[in-house]
Amino acid sequence: MAIYAVSVDEQRSTAARFGALYVGVDPSARAGVALSTLSRQPLNALRHPPESGTCGWYIWGGEELADDADFFQPVCIEHLPEQLAPLMPYLGLGPGWRVLLAPNHEDVWFDEKLLAI
């Protein structure tokens, strides 16, 4: 796994571009990452409210989000896999935001249902 410095300026700029509140992530906080799916397209991410040392982000590759309890593995933000570099600018989007990235495609939207957990 690669180690990434999270660019706060880039994340603030991305949040502003979508009219979102910037909510930073602590590099030592954990995200739920479906490591076995990261070679698939599109790259998906959604953010729930942070709790218990997590930043609220859940990240997976592919069309489907599995219900399997072992689908996501905890990964510190500073150790996110290389495949997730395109997602780094979006990590400052607050809880309730979703991101879908594919070659030549970006879809970012607010999903209020993510706040009702």
Give 103-112 contacts, CB < 8 A, sequence gap 24+.
103/41, 105/42, 108/18, 110/20, 111/46
Asked if 91 and 29 count as a contact pair (C-beta separation under 8 A), the reply is no
Looking at the domain assignment, is residue 3 inside a domain? no
Q: Residue 2: pLDDT above 50?
A: no
Residue 111 forms part of a structural domain: yes
Residue position matching structure tokens 């991101």: 99
Q: Which two tokens stand for residue 31?
A: 């995200």
Q: How many domains does the chain have?
A: 1
**Residue 103 resides in a domain:** yes
The tens digit of pLDDT for each residue in 9-30 reads 999 999 999 999 999 998 889 9
Does residue 1 lie within any of the structural domains?
Answer: no
pLDDT tens string 37-74: 999 999 999 999 998 889 999 999 999 888 888 999 99
| Cα–Cα distance measured from residue 60 to residue 36, given in angstroms and rounded to the nearest whole number | 8
Asked whether residue 65 is assigned to any structural domain, the reply reads: yes
- Do the domain assignments include residue 110? yes
Domain-embedded: residue 2: no
- Residue 76 maps to a domain: yes
Domain that holds residue 111: 8-115
pTM of the prediction? 0.91
